[in-house]
Copies of this chain bind each other. A is one copy, B any other.
Amino acid sequence: MDSSSAYLFSGLDEGQMKKIMAIGKEIPMKKGQQIFREGQEANGVYVLRRGAVELMTVLEKDFDLPISLLRNPGDVFGSSALVPPYQYSLSARCVEEGTLFCMETKALRELALEDHDIGFQIMTNLAEYFLERVKETRQEVKIHFKTLLSSTRS
């Protein structure tokens, strides 16, 4: 796993990583395949091994807003599976055939609860990641507001 982009596991040592690797398995994905949908009960956390995945959010019926395109081996997605309400906050679709590493959410949460050293590290990484997403999304809101402001002024 490319540890540089696998933010979720940053800071874990080799022994801890072995425990995590033990609860996952590789699965193939085909172009166009829906991996999961926004709002679904989240049963797996995914690491991209090969290929590309698009993350989207439902804007309205039959209209999804693209949020990001993952194509770096090691990219993690579906991590909202680890916090209440344990649902996917986005939809994920394969846009280029490849391989995923899928960790069963239940097993990963149990491991974090049993071993609070692992749990602390994962949850710290997750909090940092979500805070970055808050700032990024807030930045988009600001762009919209600025556009509104400038159209009011002109």
Give this chain's copy count. Answer: 2
Determine if B59 and A127 form an interchain contact, defined as CB atoms under 8 angstroms apart. no
Task: Say yes or no for A15: interface residue by CB 8 A criterion.
Answer: no
By secondary structure, the A interface counts as helix
Give residues in A with beta carbon < 8 Å to B: 57, 59-60, 63, 65, 67, 80, 82-84, 89, 112, 116-117, 119-120, 123-124, 126-128, 130-131, 133-135, 137-138, 140-142, 144-146, 149
Please name all residues of chain B whose beta carbon is closer than 8 Å to the beta carbon of A63 when the two chains form the complex.
149
Question: In the complex, A65 Cα to B116 Cα: how many Å?
Answer: 39
Determine if B89 and A142 form an interchain contact, defined as CB atoms under 8 angstroms apart. no
Among residues of B, the one whose C-beta sits closest to the C-beta of A150 is B60
Determine if B137 and A138 form an interchain contact, defined as CB atoms under 8 angstroms apart. yes
